Amino acid sequence: PIFRSANKFCAIIMFVYLYVFQVALKIIKHCKEQGAGELSQGVLSGLLHNNTVEVTNCFPRPSNENNDFDEHLYQLEMLRKLREVNVDHFHVGWYQSTFLGSFLNKNFIESQFDYQQMAEESVVIVYDPLQTNQGNLSFKAYRLTKKLMQLYSGGDKSFTPEGLSSKGLDFHNILEEIPVTVRTSNLGNVLISEIIGSNPYNGKGDFMSLSTGSYLEKNVHSLIEGADELCQDAQKLHNYQRNVARQQQQIENYKQKRQHENDARKARGEAPLPEEDVNKIFRPNLPPNRLEHLLSTGQIATYCDHLTEYASQSFGKLFIAESVQKQSTEG
């Protein structure tokens, strides 16, 4: 079978290996051809060795412009073709491009949830072209945590404040990040050595380049937008709590009024009024779904990590540049 049973692979995935010519370059090429700002997605194939997912091949998902296109059948056919040419054809996950790390949304969670239900060892690799342009090859692998898998299987009704509290789920334990290692074969290493020898790269100005300001500025703008969304979500929760408190007060007033009426009827020797279901008279307020709140908070944490990383690099370059300038001035 193309999709393996998850019962045999219950061990925790510790590493993800990418074979650079087969996977990393294909993902980079696909994202570049798709265009800046466009979402690129594809399927990963490979093997599971001990606690390591070895991703040895991938292929992109075509743009779904035709309504008659069946993506599931397309993936099955592609994996069969890989098997016919003796290429690793086991489905080990999928990949997706992102812009400034803004990938954490409900569609992302739903896709990874479906993959992990089919095969527990499935991973998603997130590639950020903009961060790669800053000099850091950005390949990160993620899986949904067991707490989120259990809660998500219960549907939207599980993502209530009480449901999250019972599972101890917050934005820190939505995803688990898995280390990614890019590997090349011996022949690939020889080829890279020949390319470096024939075309030596002279990056004299890149080391002291302070051109990370635009990247930091974009992250700050994204952080502000995320904070606005979080404030709107907090206002929804506040309105829900206020409506619940108001309804509880109305219920208490109704019960007291009902009790006074029954006491008066008993004093007149009449039968008390029959008990009624309060929930039929006062319709309960539905609690807001807290999944969007979790995802927004997790996305803000990602922006903060990016700001911390690049701000520390920029400050380091500024201090080095200041020292060099002082030495040249004194000399």
Mean pLDDT on 108-131: 89
Residue 223 included in any domain: no
Domain holding 136, by residue range, is: 15-209
pLDDT at 2: 33
pLDDT at 11: 44
Residues 253, 121, single domain; the answer is no
> Has this prediction a pTM greater than 0.85?
no
Residue 95 φ/ψ, nearest 5 degrees: -130, 160
pLDDT at 42: 92
Number of domains forming the structure of the chain:
2
Mean pLDDT on 278-289: 79
Confidence of residue 94 (pLDDT cuts 50, 70, 90): very high
Does residue 9 have a pLDDT over 50?
Answer: no
DSSP state for residue 6 in the 8-state scheme: G
pLDDT at 288: 81
pLDDT at 331: 60
Residue 4 included in any domain: no
Residues 127, 203, single domain; the answer is yes
Residues 243, 183, single domain; the answer is no
User: Domain end: 156, 179, 209, which one?
Assistant: 209
Residue 10 included in any domain: no
pLDDT at 63: 72
pLDDT tens for each residue of 239-258: 888 988 988 888 888 888 88
Confidence of residue 8 (pLDDT cuts 50, 70, 90): very low
- Of residues 330 and 207, which shows the higher confidence score? 330
Residue 55 included in any domain: yes
Residues 114, 23, single domain; the answer is yes
Residues 149, 297, single domain; the answer is no
Does residue 130 have a pLDDT over 60?
Answer: yes
Residue 292 included in any domain: yes
Residues 168, 271, single domain; the answer is no
User: Domain end: 155, 174, 209, which one?
Assistant: 209
Residues 294, 175, single domain; the answer is no
Does residue 43 have a pLDDT over 60?
Answer: yes
pLDDT at 143: 92
pLDDT tens for each residue of 212-242: 567 777 888 888 888 888 888 888 888 888 9
Q: What's the mean per-residue pLDDT of the chain?
A: 79
Mean pLDDT on 187-206: 69
User: Domain end: 154, 176, 209, which one?
Assistant: 209
Lowest-confidence pick of 209-213, 218-222, 274-278, 284-288: 209-213
pLDDT at 3: 33
Residues 55, 191, single domain; the answer is yes
Residues 50, 199, single domain; the answer is yes
Residue 206, C-beta contacts closer than 8 angstroms, at least 6 positions apart: 135
Residue 1 included in any domain: no
Q: Which long-range contacts (CB under 8 A, 24 or more apart) does 1-6 make?
A: 2/76, 2/79, 2/80, 2/83, 2/89, 2/90, 2/91, 3/91, 3/118, 3/119, 4/90, 4/91, 4/119, 5/119, 6/116, 6/117, 6/118, 6/119, 6/120, 6/121
Tokens of 265: 């009827």
Residues 148, 297, single domain; the answer is no
Report d(CA 71, CA 4) in Å as an integer.
19
CA distances from 213 to 165, 220, 270, 273, 316 (A): 40, 10, 81, 73, 14
pLDDT at 123: 92
What is the domain-level CATH number for residue 122? 3.40.140.10
Residue 86 included in any domain: yes
Mean pLDDT on 251-280: 83
Tokens of 275: 């008990």
Residues 136, 76, single domain; the answer is yes
Tokens of 192: 């890279």
Residues 28, 172, single domain; the answer is yes
Residue 59 included in any domain: yes
